[in-house]
Each structure stands twice: as C-alpha cells, then as structure tokens.
Amino acid sequence: MGLTVAEKIITKHLIEGKLERGAPIAIRIDQTLTQDATGTMAYLQFEAMGLPRVKTDLSVSYVDHNTLQNDFMNMDDHRYLQTVAAKYGVKFSRPGNGICHQVHLERFGKPGTTLLGSDSHTPTGGGLGQLAIGAGGLDVACAMAGQPFYLTMPKIVKINLTGRLQPFVSAKDVILKVLQLLTVKGGAGKIIEYGGDGLPTLSVPERATIANMGAELGATTSVFPSDAVTKQFLQAQNRAADWQEILADSDAMYDAEINIDLSALEPLAACPHMPDIVQKVSELKDRKVDQVLIGSCTNSSYKDLMTVAYMLQGRKIAANISLGLAPGSKQVLTMLAQNGALADIAAAAARLLESACGFCIGMGQAPNSGGVSVRTNNRNFQGRSGTKDAGVYLVSPETAAATALTGKLTDPRALDLQPYKFTPPRHFAIDDSMVLEPNPATEIIRGPNIKPCPKREPLTKDLTGEILLKTGDNITTDDIMPAGSKVLPLRSNVPAIANFVFAGLDPDFAKRALEKKGGFIVGGENYGQGSSREHAALAPMYLGVKAVIAKSFARIHKANLINFGILPLTFANAADYEKLAQGAELKIADISAAWQNKKNIFADISAPLNVRIELTYDLSDRDREILSAGGMLNFVSKL
C-alpha cells in the first residue's frame, strides 16, 4: 500500500511509535518558529533547560505581533528576543520584516521537512509541502532543545480539488467552503491533505492561504504535495536547492475523501462570530460596512495585494469606509513599491499599515462601536477585533476590495472589471538584511516586565476545590486569555497577565480563583479552540486551576494544559455536564491509582448537588508522567 504526502514526511521523521491512526508517535523536528507574543516565554523556558544552543537545523524568532509600542514593555521584549536568539543560535527577524508565516514561506520553509511553531497558523508551511504544526511555546522550546514532538497519529483526510477557480473567486473561498463543510471542530485529530487535478492551477501563496486556515478546522495540520508549482516558487525565491518532489502514491489510502469543484465555487464570507458560519457573499449583498482590512498571515502575499491594487487602480474607496492594508512582508512591500502598485493603493485612499499581524490579533484598527468590519484574516471571534459589539466578516482580498469601493458587502463579480491575470514573478525581491544571524558572545538583555515562567508542584493524590466557572461550547483561547494592545504586552509577566483570564466572560474570575485557592473549570465541546497561546493554560495554572472537565478539547490547548500540570478530563456521560454548576465543591480522589489500573476517574460533587460523575482521560503514559511531575518543565528537569 502506498503512502500519502503526510505519511511520507512522518515516516522519515518518526522516532517513536508506528503509523497507526490514534497511536502515540514522536517525530523529529527540523525547524521551529516563534513570534513575540509567544516567544518571550518560550525562550525563558528554553533558557531554564540549561543548553548552550538550539539543536534544530533552523530556528527563527520573529517579531510581528506586539509591534505597537505604547510603553517600554513590547520594546523590552524585542530586545530580549533579539539578544537571546543571538546567544542560542537562533535567527532573528526584526520588526518590520513581516509576519512570521509569510516570511517563513518565502525564505525558510522546505518541502519534506518538519516545522513546529508557537503559533496556531504555522500550518501555512503546508502550502510548500512542509509538515508544519502549531504548538504551545513550551513544546517548541523542547523541540529547540532537540527533543521530539509527541502527538497522536492523526487520521488523514484527502480533499480532491478539481477544475479551476473562476475570475474573482480565490483560495480564501476554497478554505471557507471547507469550513462550511467540516466546521471548526471537523478537523480535530486529522491531517487535511490536498490533491486532485486542480492543484496545478493554484500557486504556492494560494495553497498557503488554504493551509493557513486549516487551523480553524481544528486540524493537526494541512499539507499540499511539493510539485512543479512548488519548484517554480522556490526558484523565484532563489531557493531552488531547497526543492524536492513529494507526491502521494497512486495507491495511498485515506481515512476519508471530499471532492470540491473549484469551478463551482463563488465568493464566500464567514459571518460573525465564527469562521464556519459561512454564506455566499451574493446572499449578503447591500450590507453596510464601516471598515475593510486587508492583510494577515492568510492573505497578504504579493499575489493577494497585486490583485487588490488592480481592483483599486484609478478608483476611490467609498466615503463611509476606512480601508487599511498590511503587506505580509518587507519583500511584498518592496515589490509593490517598485512596480507602482503601492501608489495605486495609496491613491484609492487606503491606509498603509505595518507589515505585521496588527488588526488580526486585535493590535490596533478596532472598528467603531456596533460597526461592521470586513477582513481578510482568519478569525472573527467576538471581541477579538478590540470592539466587542462589532461584527467581523472574513472574506477574500477580491471581496474586500469590492466592498471598499462600494461601501457595502459586495460580490466582486458584480463590479464592471475585467478579470485580473496575475503572472507569478520569475524573481522575487530578495533582501535578508532584516534577518540577524546568531552571535553566541551576545549578552542577554532583560527588561523589568520579564519574569520567570512559574511552575506547579507535583500532582497530589486528591484534587479538591470549587467549580470556578462553567462555560459553553467552542470556548476559544481568546475567551480564556484575551489578546489586544492592553494584554499582549504582559505575555512575559504571568502574574500580571493572569488578572485577565476569562475577563471577557467573567471579569471577577481571576480574583475569585485566587481567593478560592484555585479549583476547576467545566467546559463544553471543543474547549480551547483557536490560537496556540499557552498563556491560556499557563495563567490559569498560576491562578490555581487544577483540572478542566469538558465534553471535548482542541488539540493544542489540551497539550498546553498537560504541559502546565492542569488535568484535562472529559465526561464519560455527556449528560453529566448539566449536573455541574459554578460554585459547587468537587473532589477527585486516587488519580494515580485510576491511572495505574487503567480505570476511569470519579468526581464527587458536594451539597447541594450531591452527585458522583464518571470522567475519562485520553492521556499517553508520557502525558501522565508530565502531569504527575507538575508539568513539562519539572518533567524535563528530571531527564
């Protein structure tokens, strides 16, 4: 039996386990990436391991999230990241060089290699035929220390793409269609692999857009073959030596297959407040819009912005629209400036934004109160934009440009425009001067806001405490640990950032958790979806959260809970969720005995409920060892 693209890459990197679906495996990691919102803590954790330098083939530290410098804290983090990278053998991408995923795709990603990144959209690299996986910062720190990455062998779902996209329909519409079909939890425990005779019609940036938003499916990663299109892209980046062909075998077996006819797609939009609430733009027409933002790691490539420039050329945006545009990298910005496209964008009355994550992470460009914002980024969770009562629609660059011109949500096919014929450049503008090389003689600089990573004591025999909060389904890591310009600068200071845990859902949560000396959280389906931010586990651990009991967990967040010594448990009977209430006292006894006997765990809830519920756990032997030690840092220190 033949192998899929994903299986071929995993096989070459397999250190422990077998290619059996649902079995624990460990793979060697070739490359890592971090960004400044997660990187400071990741490098503090790496420092705690006491190694002289990283052991990966390549590690890159990017600054692209916390670039808004309201005070000293973000700049201090950048100084720390620059110096710690130099000290330990990590390349450093300076602020302004671009968004980590766009830059890594352009300059560093290699087909057939593995990439682990402390950002949930690391799977962007799948557009190059790279097995690129998002993880918490501590997992990335361990990979930099030369340790394998542990995961459960996913199922592999093939999406067959046939035909060719029609004019003004783009790759963003492809992934929105996949989200409509599978939902935000439909990719859990799966790798999404793309194939079909439509692949040669999609460029690497288009493939990267599709792979990028596979994170919204909850998938482990998404991957495309490495073929002639990949080769052309790498040649144009002056990286022909990095190419290798990786195709699925003709007799490869998949766990499921989905067929999508590219020629049948039309412009789509993800409606507030979830990426899988997808409708046709034609069904949403005439919806008044206040703001349009084009960019993010999903849609800020040269192709994307050349398309936008073509649509804006010689035209002005509507008077009611605020239009912002952020090139994904210095390379993209340089090429737009060199060929005159940037002048067309500026003449249309667009605001040029920094080559950074910016508005996608809630770092500026918040909409007006009650406003409607149309964006090309990947998430539209309520409040993520910085305005809680705003409605955010996720669309393609084509739909965003059309909307900016008309002032209302507009199907770009309705405009009187000839189709744009984009020709991939034979040579991209290459200038890597904003990527700094390591220098082990560097002295590390630490600002006063940079605090050590807190640790948890080893797991006790019994866990007791109060149910501090009960949540619903699809709770995101934004809900648990908000981002935005007020909170992100505190990422290197856990005691300070812990005050914001669940702030949007329950402003008193942090205070209550400290007063009660910790306790438990109860969640619904897909608890912890969204960003990889480990602070959504690290900060609750600091507040004393001992376990999270949920109907199901998102992959990265579950791993982060384990890494910081918080027990992730699921209901043996989903109906028991209804029996639990905030404020009830709960006791879980003899955890280690249950593990040793491979039995389920029971929790006793005291008056007024007076019930016993049965809980399950999906934990490997290694997971249980990590939890018993009180988290990954304690576990690693004993190796």
Which among 144, 20, 158 is positioned nearest to 87, based on CA atoms?
144
Which among 499, 523, 516 is positioned nearest to 577, based on CA atoms?
523
Instruction: Respond yes or no: is residue 622 known to be catalytic.
Output: no
Using CA atoms of 617, 11, 115, 618 in order, give the dihedral in degrees to the nearest 10: 0
Which among 446, 294, 354 is positioned nearest to 95, based on CA atoms?
354
3-state secondary structure of 583: coil
According to DSSP, the residues that pair with 34 across neighbouring strands are 61
Enter the DSSP assignment of 215.
G
> Which listed residue (300, 531, 532, 552) is catalytic?
531
CA distance 569 to 627: 12
Instruction: Respond yes or no: is residue 65 known to be catalytic.
Output: yes
| Backbone phi, psi, residue 252, to 5° | -65, 145
CA distance 35 to 37: 6
> Which listed residue (30, 36, 64, 276) is catalytic?
64
- Angle value at C-alpha 24, between 576 and 138, nearest 5 degrees: 85
For residue 45, what are its two tokens?
A: 């954790």
Using CA atoms of 457, 500, 364, 400 in order, give the dihedral in degrees to the nearest 10: 90
Give residue 465's identity as a one-letter amino acid code.
G
> Which listed residue (13, 36, 59, 65) is catalytic?
65
> Which listed residue (533, 535, 555, 557) is catalytic?
533
DSSP secondary structure, 195-213, as one string: ESTTGGGS-HHHHHHHHHG
Instruction: Respond yes or no: is residue 533 known to be catalytic.
Output: yes
The structure tokens 């402390």 sit at 118
Q: How far is CA 349 from the centre of its chain?
A: 31
Instruction: Respond yes or no: is residue 119 known to be catalytic.
Output: yes
- Angle value at C-alpha 143, between 91 and 431, nearest 5 degrees: 20
CA distance 222 to 209: 11
Within 579-631, residue ranges assigned H as helices are 591-596, 621-629
> Which listed residue (379, 384, 413, 557) is catalytic?
379
For residue 331, what are its two tokens?
A: 């390379």
Which among 82, 91, 131, 81 is positioned nearest to 111, based on CA atoms?
131
- Residues annotated as catalytic are 64-65, 119, 379, 531, 533
